[in-house]
Structure 1
Amino acid sequence: MHVVIMGCGRVGASLAAALQRLDHTVAVVDKDPRSFHRLGKHFQGKQVVGNGIDREVLGEAAVEQAAAFAAVSNGDNSNIVSARVARETFGVDHVVARIYDPKRAEVYQRLGIPTVATVPWTTDRFLRMLLPEGVATEWRDPSGAVAVLQLPLHEGWVGRRVSDVEASIGARVAFIMRFGNGVLPDRKTVVQAEDTVYVAALSGTVTDVTAAARRAPEES
């Protein structure tokens, strides 16, 4: 398929190279022609100099034939405007924009533009490396307010109801991986040995939630 990338910084160049390795055609748009040196001598796609919010520039990048569009410049406003132009003017099906400000990301998500909120995502990646015991989140909403994480659950919770776990840790059990299958629990679901439990929690409560989960349940 054909993919248009707006922004030829490190992310844009890396994304272009990865797409080319997967045998997709790629056009990269950037205002600074010097940025294209990041693509390397083996890049075979199109290099378009210009503003990624300009319809003529996007037309030169063959956005009409594009199945996907990625806006990864260093400007939130430019990314979201170009993403909206790609979707609303040219009808590109798969559009994503990189956003630095998580509050803006939430607004743009409501407009139907999938976003990658760089700061929360990067923070989570560092946490995965620094805290290998499962404290880092698996997913975070664009605003950074809600996190889904794998719960480091004390073995004493085996045989207890999900509703008891939720009441103790102060978070919602989102799903359980059981014998390789996803399970959507209800309040009567009982935690089994070897279950991997994932919860949805407010970001500011993640530390307290995981600490509570590591403790043995109180005897009723």
Structure 2
Amino acid sequence: MHIVIMGCGRVGSSLARALERRGHSVAVIDQDPDAFRRLGPEFHGATVKGIGFDRKVLVAAGIKQADGFAAVSSGDNSNILAARVVRETYGISNVVARIYDQARAEVYERLGIPSVATVRWASDQVLRRLLPEGSEPQWRDPSGQVRLIQVGAHEGWVGTPVGKIETALHARIPFLTRFGQGLVPANDTLLQDGDTLYVAVANDDVPRVEQVLSEPPAKH
């Protein structure tokens, strides 16, 4: 894969090195040529001086052959503009923008541009540690209609097959964590004490799923 990165700060340079270590070709764009020093002597990808939403600069970075684009500069406006240019002009759907303003990030996710909002990420991580029994979204689709939530279950569910839990929730459980390890369950996998469920659920169904799992299973 060829990935173009706009911004060679701490995030951009780390991302570039990580992608190259995984065998991908990388081009990094930045207005400040001194920023490329962060890449280190072992980086063999391309570096392009210029503005990341300038089409000539993008073409020089190989955007026409790119499989993905990451806008991770320090400016929200620049990241948003570059992401839109790449998506709308060059038809690249694999685009991610780093947005510091959480409200803006949510707007652009709804427009189909996945965003990483630093403050939101940090606050979500804290919430997941403070509220281990409450659901927190681990992933949202760009339209905001579906999410993957992390949620604990009432102790009454211990010993229940995952397939039966899915039937009760009317939702899928693609994986769970047990003793800190991920596990893709089969229908007959029994829930154990301390397991954390990851439930794929429609946005409007989150309260219902939380309610079902907060109580012992209904007896028939």
TM-score, normalisation: structure 1 = 0.71
Whether 2:85 is the aligned partner of 1:76: answer no
Indicate the residue corresponding to 2:3 in structure 1.
3
Indicate the residue corresponding to 1:90 in structure 2.
90
**Residue of 173, 176, 184 corresponding to 1:176:** 173
Displacement of 1:39 in angstroms is 0.6
Whether 2:199 is the aligned partner of 1:198: answer yes
Displacement of 1:198 in angstroms is 3.0
Gaps of 5+ in 2: 176-182
- Indicate how the Cα distance of structure 1 residues 211 and 109 shifts in structure 2: closer, same or farther if over 3 A, else same: closer
Write the letter of the residue equivalent to 1:180.
Answer: V
Indicate the residue corresponding to 1:42 in structure 2.
42
1:143-154 alignment, distance < 5 Å: 148-154=148-154
Displacement of 1:175 in angstroms is 3.0
Displacement of 1:66 in angstroms is 1.0
8 Å contact 1:116–1:142 — kept in the other structure? no
- Superposed CA RMSD in Å reads 3.9
d(CA) in 2 for partners of 1:176 and 1:75? 38
d(CA) in 2 for partners of 1:214 and 1:81? 43
TM-score, normalisation: structure 2 = 0.71
Indicate the residue corresponding to 2:180 in structure 1.
none
- Where in structure 1 do 4 or more consecutive aligned residues deviate above 6 Å? 141-144, 209-212
Displacement of 1:98 in angstroms is 1.2
SS at match of 2:92: coil
Indicate the residue corresponding to 1:188 in structure 2.
none
d(CA) in 2 for partners of 1:128 and 1:20? 32
d(CA) in 1 for partners of 2:65 and 2:8? 20
Indicate the residue corresponding to 1:12 in structure 2.
12
d(CA) in 2 for partners of 1:140 and 1:131? 19
Deviations 1:52-98 (A, max 9, x none): 11111112112111111111111111111111111222222411111
8 Å contact 2:148–2:198 — kept in the other structure? no
Deviations 1:145-177 (A, max 9, x none): x97433221222459x979x88xxxxxx75335
8 Å contact 1:96–1:114 — kept in the other structure? yes
1:126-141 alignment, distance < 5 Å: 126-128=126-128, 137-139=137-139
d(CA) in 2 for partners of 1:89 and 1:9? 25
d(CA) in 2 for partners of 1:97 and 1:4? 12
Gaps of 5+ in 1: 167-172, 184-191
SS at match of 1:70: strand
Indicate the residue corresponding to 1:63 in structure 2.
63
8 Å contact 2:112–2:143 — kept in the other structure? no
Displacement of 1:35 in angstroms is 1.3
d(CA) in 2 for partners of 1:182 and 1:117? 34
8 Å contact 2:4–2:68 — kept in the other structure? yes
Write the letter of the residue equivalent to 2:173.
Answer: I
SS at match of 1:119: helix
d(CA) in 2 for partners of 1:54 and 1:67? 18
